[in-house]
Amino acid sequence: MNKPIATSLRTKEILERFHLYARKSLGQNFITDPSVVRRIAESSRCQGQAVIEIGPGIGALTEQLALLAKKVVAFEIDDRLPEVLAWSLQEYSNVEIRHQDFLKADLPEVVADLKQEAEQVVLCANLPYYITTPLLFKIFESEAEISVITVMMQKEVGDRMAARVSTKDYNALSVLVQYGYEVKTIMKVPRTVFNPKPNVDSSVVQFVKRKQKPAVLDEQLFFEIVKACFKQRRKTIYNNLREYLPNQQEVQRILQEAGIDPTERAENLELETFIRLSEVWYERKSVC
């Protein structure tokens, strides 16, 4: 059996064999540390299940997923790579490479098909950093039945998504993501394990879909209110909300009814408090 694709030596061999260079415009940074890809695959909960990968590159993570999962479906946008992957992953019959932009994939359909083959469908990827947020929101908003999402991203973005209340990284994104998922950082990954080396460090973040999302009467209103509360981080919640709803007295009444101190800042409010605020807001809206 060959050495893992993620070793520096094999990565170099594969790149040379196919005269490949990393395309910066596609966010290509290949992992060259077998222990890192192994740990990501092991933590993805893909064992015996179906796993979707975004951006297999030359197959470093795909290989480790293939060793554990029943089936791997990997979406790669770069037209040079299907040929490379067919060669580098030739030993693994449970891998299917789709040469497609993941943003254009019909995710619910892909998941429904995989559900015929496995009990659970999970997603695991070393994401291209230039489109981390659109890729993740495509997954979150699709409502596809993906139970666990384990992804490597720029550390700064990962810190915001996993941030807890009253910390410097806690913002609207943390609240909105944690409303649908339990979020935790699995590991930090230094920039030195990539070829080419990016300018930032990374972290692997895991999103476990909540069996039941907290009950919210009007989801759109909840999203808008969370964003409005964090509009200007240093401002009080009252001042931020006054811009969203110019009627000062109404804002004061709503905050009072929700039991929120108007001088508080959004960064100190728990998810449950934002939900309460949006419920009171919704009820007053239907009365007025």
- Residues 8, 23: Cα–Cα separation, whole Å: 18
Give the residue, chosen from 103, 112, 200, 217, that forms a contact with ligand SAM under the rule CB under 6 A: 103
Cβ-based nearer residue to ligand SAM, 17 or 253: 17
Cβ 229 to ligand SAM shortest distance, Å:
32
Which residues neighbour 11 within 8 Å (Cβ) at sequence distance 6 or greater? 5, 30, 32, 58, 60, 195
Helix, strand, coil tally for the chain in percent (to 5): 45, 15, 35
Cβ 242 to ligand SAM shortest distance, Å:
40
Residue 11: count of CB within 10 angstroms of its CB: 24
Which residues neighbour 90 within 8 Å (Cβ) at sequence distance 6 or greater? none
Residue nearest to ligand SAM (CB): 55
Give the residue, chosen from 30, 170, 181, 281, that forms a contact with ligand SAM under the rule CB under 6 A: 30
Burial class (CB in 10 A: 0-12, 13-18, 19+), 40: buried
- Residues 207, 101: Cα–Cα separation, whole Å: 22
Residue 33 interacting with ligand SAM (CB under 6 A):
no
Give the residue from 117, 98, 136 showing the smallest Cα distance to 50.
117
Cβ 35 to ligand SAM shortest distance, Å:
13
Q: Which of residues 70-89 bind ligand SAM (CB under 6 A)?
A: 75-78
Cβ-based nearer residue to ligand SAM, 128 or 158: 128
Cβ-based nearer residue to ligand SAM, 78 or 267: 78
What tokens appear for 267 in the block?
Answer: 């960064």
Cβ 195 to ligand SAM shortest distance, Å:
8
Is the Cβ–Cβ distance between 158 and 202 less than 8 Å? Answer: yes
Give the per-residue contact string, 40-59, with ligand SAM (x = CB under 6 A; - = no): --------------xxxx--
Applying CB under 6 A, the residues found at the interface with ligand SAM are 26-31, 54-57, 60-61, 75-78, 101-103, 126, 128, 131
